[in-house]
Amino acid sequence: MARLLYRIGSTAYRRWPFFIAGWLLLAVLVGSIAAAFSKPMSDQFTIPGIPSEKAADIQQELFPQAGDAFDDASVNIVVAAPEGHTLSEPRYQTAIQQLIDGVPGLPQTGEENPGLVAPAEAPEGVPAAFSTLSDDGRIGTMSFEWDVDSPADLETSSVDELKELLADTTDETGLVAEANGPGMAVMEPPGGSAELIGLGIALVVLVLTFGSLMAAGMPLLNAVFGVGLGMTGITAMTAFMDIGSSTPMLATMIGLAVGIDYTLFILARYRTELHHTDDRAHAAGIAVGTAGSAVVFAGLTVLIALSALAVVRIPFLTAMGLAAAATVFIAVMVALTLLPALLGMTKSWAFRGRVRKYDPKRDEHGRILNNGVRWARVLAKAPVAWVLGVVVLLGALAAPITQMYLAFPTDSTAASSTTQRQASDLMTEAFGPGREGPLLVVVDGRAITSDEERQAAFDKVVDWAAGQDDVASADLVATNAPVGEDGTPTGTGTGAMIQIVPSSGPDEPETLDLLQALRDGQGAIESQTDTVVGVTGLTAITTDVSDRLNGALPVYLAVVIGLAFVLLVLVFRSILVPLTATLGFLLSVLATLGATVAIFQEGALGLFEGQPIVSFMPIFLIGVVFGLAMDYQVFLVTRMREAHVHGLPTHEAVIDGFRNSARVVTAAATIMIAVFAGFILEDDAIVKSMGFALAASIIFDAFVVRMVLIPSVLYLLGEKAWWLPKWLDRILPNVDVEGESLERDSAPVHVGASGDDRDDDLDKELAGV
């Protein structure tokens, strides 16, 4: 592999116009397809095989007009009078009527939108638009639906205008108007302040690393180009398949981080190789052949981790994983080909724009003596203590994981400052917490021939549902009976929908117990009534998704860790090094989950309000962190392996690995932390928690596990670290990640045809950067 990558790197350097033109042509082609044929992204949420999805399919058969729960774009407006007052008092009527009149004029409500849904009979003295009123007459609700196919089509400006209308309703009398519901959930697309903050910090780190503005800009240019091409490709793919609106989020986060890291690693190796040869094309080839080999295998571990999300069998998660994997693949190819092409184009200008002089100290043998070497020697003095310290520290951080509660976010778990949370609190106060998470029982009575028997069966199902624990109410809300010319039903209908309002909130364990009790008794009630019964609704669907995720986690771990272990055995030609790498990952991911639970769920340190951890967080985190953790393992330990292959004992090889890679790995990890941490500033709670978890995982894995635990363990293992059974050594292909087959000094000193003679420019680069 090293020889193949050497040829790619050196050819891209010498023939840079063709490679740059090729990438630009590809970008134009993909952009043209996206511009001409792309379709809007969808938020269709279908998960084949889960019980609630089967019930929803029956609902669609019996009630074709009923929409998907995830396509619901309705809004609940909650109006509350001050304590001790009622909404029927004249002082509130003007403001309430202005609110009612203002809703049909909002954007995306449709020309024929009737506005707020009115009940058949309104309470006396209260506007007819109120669909429900609390017993004390203080709190009322009314609803409308945006004229969109799904919340994904809703524009932020429409929701903002609704919030302004609600604010105008609130006056000095103390009247309060808030809104919640699926029609208030608008997710901003990636590409805002989070990415800009991450890129800004990355630029500072790169300038400090290379001491050159020109060199610092190359990783950023490559990463932004790669992510831009990836996002354009995702947009273009909407012409051929449905892609969810949340798909680009992960691809942006991962693409930026690995795009910078991979380019940084190869560029740093290129600068090192300029000390060994004065042929820049040869140096570029060596850099791509050695560091590029590490990038290929690091990228493969990320690709495995992300692509394996398909085993979960949740389409939106599969799409996110594959889109992110495609972006990582582009990042690898950009680092291997576009970077050397840019180096070929800039030649002696590659490290210009100096802001800091690089003049490292050297030991008595002429080897660089930097902070990486000093740190490695500190670890060597007491490796046992360092190993125990890391295990105790990460174990303590992982402790809160025992309290982890997984659920999908709801209005009742939103930040207390949001109108969604305040509306939810008012509804809970007036009607109980179950109003926010009703369950829907679908009854299929097509096997019953008599209208009377069918109605009796529906009533029996209602009584059965009402008799369960933790049920506040159970009502028959609709049948699919045919309607006559006068608008009245002409029969019983073959299907019915029964709404169950629990006594507990949608994110409380009692509601989940109720759902399980309904399903446990489903077979018995079907036998008694000769019907088919299913439970669906948003609460049931999200619960089934959580169960699917939890059930898939062991299989996912086995696939990801198994394939990556084989890959690492190929890279390091060792059993113990991949094993310790995997165990270190488990420590870091458990510590990350524990810290996320403490900060986001329990509200530790007062940074965020406590709320459940989103259900797909663990499997998402494991997939992403495993891939990124192996990046740093490959970057750092391949240099140790390279030194060992060239004759150094393990103790000295570990130090040499830190000498050559610690600085780059530190810079790469710092950049990735900055990119991920920027997402904590986003408004969406899920994105906040993901940004925090990913940033924390890099801190734990890169700086604690890879920079402390792994070298300490290697010190303890000594030469045993590289043990490989002889029979396995014979059958494993030699991928030569270390570039043992490459001769660094084989290139001629003068290459006049290329114009890359060793001249004053190169000497200035090596002396000044």
Q: What is the pLDDT of residues 577-608, one digit of tens each?
A: 889 988 888 899 899 999 999 988 888 877 77
**Are the CB atoms for 16 and 754 separated by under 8 Å?**
no
* DSSP H helical ranges for 38-104: 51-62, 90-102
Instruction: List the beta bridge partners of residue 132.
Output: 141
Residue with tokens 């192996």: 630
Cβ neighbourhood burial of 281 (10 Å; 0-12, 13-18, 19+): buried
Contacts of 181 (CB under 8 A, 6+ apart): 72, 74, 75, 76, 143, 411, 420
Q: Strand 368-369 relative to strand 406-407: parallel, antiparallel, unpaired?
A: unpaired
Distance in angstroms (rounded) separating the CA atoms of residues 622 and 616: 10
* Phi/psi of residue 505, nearest 5 degrees: -75, 165
Contacts of residues 130-133 at CB distance under 8 Å and 24 or more positions apart, as own/partner, are 130/79, 130/87, 132/431, 133/87
Alpha-carbon torsion angle 322, 323, 326, 328, nearest 10: -100
Provide the pLDDT confidence category of residue 335 given band limits of 50, 70 and 90. very high
Distance in angstroms (rounded) separating the CA atoms of residues 767 and 275: 10
> How do residues 506-543 score in pLDDT, each as one tens digit?
777 888 889 999 999 988 999 999 999 999 888 888 88
Distance in angstroms (rounded) separating the CA atoms of residues 165 and 172: 16
Number of Cβ atoms within 10 Å of the Cβ of 467: 10
> What local confidence, expressed as pLDDT, does residue 542 receive?
81
Distance in angstroms (rounded) separating the CA atoms of residues 146 and 584: 49
Distance in angstroms (rounded) separating the CA atoms of residues 211 and 555: 46
CATH code of domain 421-542: 3.30.70.1430
Indicate if the pLDDT at residue 173 is higher than 80: no
Indicate if the pLDDT at residue 755 is higher than 90: no
Nearest to 508 by CA among 535, 472, 533: 472
Distance in angstroms (rounded) separating the CA atoms of residues 412 and 91: 30
Nearest to 533 by CA among 557, 500, 485: 500
Instruction: List the beta bridge partners of residue 489.
Output: 483
Distance in angstroms (rounded) separating the CA atoms of residues 521 and 222: 58
Domain boundaries, the chain: 1-37+190-359, 74-147+154-184, 390-410+546-733, 421-542
Cβ neighbourhood burial of 375 (10 Å; 0-12, 13-18, 19+): middle
> What local confidence, expressed as pLDDT, does residue 117 receive?
44
Distance in angstroms (rounded) separating the CA atoms of residues 543 and 47: 12
DSSP assignment, residue 66? Answer: P
What's domain 390-410+546-733's superfamily in CATH? Multidrug efflux transporter AcrB transmembrane domain (1.20.1640.10)
Cβ neighbourhood burial of 105 (10 Å; 0-12, 13-18, 19+): exposed
> What local confidence, expressed as pLDDT, does residue 491 receive?
66
| Selected residue with higher pLDDT from 712 and 168 | 712
Distance in angstroms (rounded) separating the CA atoms of residues 325 and 332: 11
Is it true that 1-37+190-359 and 390-410+546-733 share their CATH fold? yes
- Type of residue at 396: A
Angstrom CA distances, 267 to 186, 271, 273, 344, 346, stand at 40, 6, 10, 12, 13
Alpha-carbon torsion angle 194, 197, 201, 207, nearest 10: 120
> How do residues 293-310 score in pLDDT, each as one tens digit?
888 888 888 888 888 888
Tokens of 245: 């609106």
Provide the pLDDT confidence category of residue 251 given band limits of 50, 70 and 90. confident
| Selected residue with higher pLDDT from 42 and 432 | 432
Nearest to 301 by CA among 562, 553, 567, 556: 567
Indicate if the pLDDT at residue 435 is higher than 70: yes
Lowest mean per-residue pLDDT among 511-515, 535-539, 657-661, 685-689: 685-689
User: Quick check: helix, strand or coil at residue 674?
Assistant: helix
Q: Strand 406-407 relative to strand 613-614: parallel, antiparallel, unpaired?
A: parallel
> How do residues 270-288 score in pLDDT, each as one tens digit?
888 887 778 888 888 888 8
Lowest mean per-residue pLDDT among 577-581, 591-595, 683-687, 753-757: 753-757
Distance in angstroms (rounded) separating the CA atoms of residues 23 and 326: 16
Q: Strand 139-145 relative to strand 532-536: parallel, antiparallel, unpaired?
A: unpaired
User: Quick check: helix, strand or coil at residue 558?
Assistant: helix
Answer CATH for 74-147+154-184 from 3.30.70.3400, 3.30.360.10, 3.50.50.60, 3.40.50.2300: 3.30.70.3400
Residue with tokens 């929803």: 56
Distance in angstroms (rounded) separating the CA atoms of residues 461 and 531: 9
Nearest to 650 by CA among 441, 248, 352, 376: 376
Answer CATH for 1-37+190-359 from 3.40.50.620, 1.20.1640.10, 1.10.3720.10, 3.90.550.10: 1.20.1640.10
Which H or E element spans position 260? helix 247-273
Q: Is the dihedral of CA 750, 751, 755, 761 positive or negative?
A: negative
| 7-21, 169-183, 289-303: which is most confident | 7-21
> How do residues 556-570 score in pLDDT, each as one tens digit?
888 888 887 888 888
| 127-131, 134-138, 531-535: which is most confident | 531-535
| Selected residue with higher pLDDT from 19 and 622 | 19
Distance in angstroms (rounded) separating the CA atoms of residues 70 and 101: 28
| Residue 60 Cα to chain centre, angstroms | 31
DSSP assignment, residue 704? Answer: I
Number of Cβ atoms within 10 Å of the Cβ of 466: 14
User: Quick check: helix, strand or coil at residue 217?
Assistant: helix
